[in-house]
Amino acid sequence: MIPVRGLQGQKIAVLGLGRSGLSAARALVAGDATPICWDDTPAAREKAEAEGFTCLALRDPHDFDDIARLIVSPGIAHLYPTPNPMVDAALRAGVPVDNDIGLFFQSFATQEWDNFDTAPRVIAVTGSNGKSTTSALIHHILTTVNRPCQLAGNIGRGVLDIDPAIDGEVVVLELSSYQTDLARSLTPDIAVFTNLSPDHLDRHAGIGGYFAAKRRLFAEGGPDRAIIGVDEPEGRYLAGQLAEGRADDRVIRISVAEKLAGPGWQVFARKGFLSEYRKGKQAASIDLRAVPGLPGAHNHQNACAAYAACRALGLAPRVIEAAFHSFAGLPHRSQLVGEKDGVRFVNDSKATNVDAAAKALSAFQHVRWICGGLEKEGGLAELGAASSVRKAYVIGREAAHFAMQLPVEAEICTTMEAAVAQAVAQAEPGDVILLAPAAASFDQYDNFEKRGDDFVAQVQKYL
Binding-site residue positions for ATP? 127-133
Residue 462's alpha-carbon distances to 65, 343, 427, 435, in angstroms, are 61, 11, 12, 15
Asked whether 242 and 215 are in contact (CB, 8 A), the reply is: no
Distance CA 200, CA 79 (A): 13
Asked whether 270 and 263 are in contact (CB, 8 A), the reply is: no
Asked whether 87 and 15 are in contact (CB, 8 A), the reply is: yes
Asked whether 260 and 230 are in contact (CB, 8 A), the reply is: yes
Distance CA 410, CA 387 (A): 14
The letter for the amino acid at 61 is P
The letter for the amino acid at 327 is F
Element (H, E) at 411: strand 410-414
Among 315, 296, 317, residue whose Cα is nearest residue 365: 296
Residue 152's alpha-carbon distances to 92, 124, 156, 158, 366, in angstroms, are 33, 10, 5, 6, 37
Instruction: Give the end-to-end CA distance of the chain in Å, rounded to a whole number.
Output: 42
In the DSSP assignment, the letter for residue 374 is B
Element (H, E) at 345: strand 343-347
The letter for the amino acid at 398 is E
Helices 317-325 and 131-144: crossing angle in degrees, nearest 10, is 110
Reading phi first (left if > 0) and then psi (alpha if -120 to 50, else beta), residue 306 is in alpha
Beta-strand pair 225-229/54-55: unpaired
Binding-site residue set: 127-133
Distance CA 459, CA 455 (A): 6
Asked whether 139 and 172 are in contact (CB, 8 A), the reply is: yes
Distance CA 148, CA 313 (A): 13
Asked whether 151 and 133 are in contact (CB, 8 A), the reply is: no
State residue 313 phi and psi, 5-degree precision: -85, -5
Distance CA 25, CA 343 (A): 49
CA contacts within 13 A on the Cβ side of 263 = 6
